[in-house]
Structure 1
Amino acid sequence: MPKFGGAPKCPRCSGSVYHAEEKIGAGASWHKMCFNCNLCHKMLDSSTLGEHDGEIYCKSCYGKKYGPKGYGFGGGAGTLSMDQGERLGNKPTQQTGPATAQAYTHCDVASDAPSKFGGADRCPRCGHSVYQAEKMIGANSSWHKKCFSCAACNKGLDSTTVCDRDGEIFCKACYAKGFGPTGVGYGQGAGTLSTGQ
């Protein structure tokens, strides 16, 4: 640690750091006001600190700059990020996989392709890949949240309101109308039950 007059020097401002204002990180002593993320300048503490090559970052910026890149990383579950971190100062690396994200996102819905594409299930309603963050289960299939709706009335469904038949999903009301018992006495209040149609 560089010292001046017995006190270590802050790596950010090169000023002397005295004990009352000292924060320790990346093997150096910092002023409290200099102990912030090198990219977003958010104030740091020991639980939010990420270090790399003598510089300090918040965990979010550290993950974006030095964390894993590519399929499924950096943009939340179910996304493909081709971001190499250029805006954070990283140099682009040589591509070893597909040149564009389209290789992962385009699929021929009309083909007899398998039910999985790129490791993800395919939605029976729209035919696109369903990733974990957007997955709803019904009729033994994985559905997008936006596609998880009644086939008859298009009402949004959840695990408590879904009924399935022949690979399609319905709300309880439409399922009862379409596939429930028929005849006098059903759906008309109290009365006698008749099997006649």
Structure 2
Amino acid sequence: MPWKPPQPDLCPKCNKAVYANEERLAAGKKWHTMCFKCNKCRKMLDSATVTEHEGSLYCKSCHGKQFGPKGYGYGGGAGVLSMDAGKAGSAQMSATVSGPQVTGPVVEGGCPRCGKRVYMAERQVAIGKDWHKSCFNCKSCSKSLDSTSLNDKDGEIYCKGCYGRLFGPKGVGYGIGAGTLST
């Protein structure tokens, strides 16, 4: 029997021969470079963005939209989570969602401003207490503060301007009136 050269693999997309100089590998098969694109949006793929479903190639975005979980928190709706087989209207499982739940390490005690729990990710420290980032502002004018621009009085924090106006010295020569410098 005479020797025969090996036959090239066929591209799953176009069923034509795939030669080494134009091959892309995915899902255990060889594809032409021009056939190696998303089955839905036709975007060209590479090894980092390709996903396979039942012999077809998809970009990660289209694969998630078409075959991934649906519902609130997954970009597919509000209030209901569902998993389906990728066909519209064939929900197999649903559960009511009450809203996002914040979890993580909790700092002891509550925020001095609102009294709620302070998680490490949202923690600001001042005057020996832990504050929420959203509560870390001047009590008088609500200006955002940082550790260098605050003053405290009776457990509350104020910007330097409001602190001086509310609790600083009063009278002639102490900066009350026109021409005053404030910081």
- Which interval holds the TM-score relative to the shorter structure? 0.5 to 0.7
Give how far 1:85 is off: 7.3
Contact 2:12 2:31 in 1 (8 A): yes
Aligned mate of 1:140, from 121, 130, 137: 130
Contact 2:39 2:57 in 1 (8 A): yes
Contact 1:74 1:81 in 2 (8 A): no
- What is the TM-score when the length of structure 1 is the normalising length? 0.52
1:37 corresponds to which letter in structure 2?
A: C
Deviations 1:38-89 (A, max 9, x none): 3333222223233344333333444555667778x546xxxx8846477x65
Find out whether 1:182 has 2:169 as its counterpart.
yes
Find out whether 1:7 has 2:8 as its counterpart.
yes
Cα distance, 1:61–1:142 mapped onto 2, change above 3 Å? farther
Contact 2:81 2:93 in 1 (8 A): no
Within-5 A mapping of 1:94-173: 94-95=93-94, 97-98=95-96, 101=97, 103-104=98-99, 118-120=101-103, 135=122, 137=124, 140-144=130-134, 149-157=137-145, 161=149, 169-173=157-161
Gaps of 5+ in 2: 1-5, 176-183
Matched position secondary structure for 2:99: helix
Root-mean-square deviation (Å): 4.7
Deviations 1:14-57 (A, max 9, x none): 33222221111111111112212233332222232333443333
Gaps of 5+ in 1: 106-117, 189-197
Percent of matched pairs sharing the same residue: 42
The number of aligned residues is 158
In structure 2, distance between residues paired with 1:123 and 1:62: 43
Within-5 A mapping of 1:21-36: 21-36=22-37
In structure 1, distance between residues paired with 2:172 and 2:87: 73
Contact 1:10 1:31 in 2 (8 A): yes
Contact 2:50 2:58 in 1 (8 A): yes
Higher strand share: 2
- What is the TM-score when the length of structure 2 is the normalising length? 0.55
Structure with the greater alpha carbon radius of gyration: 2
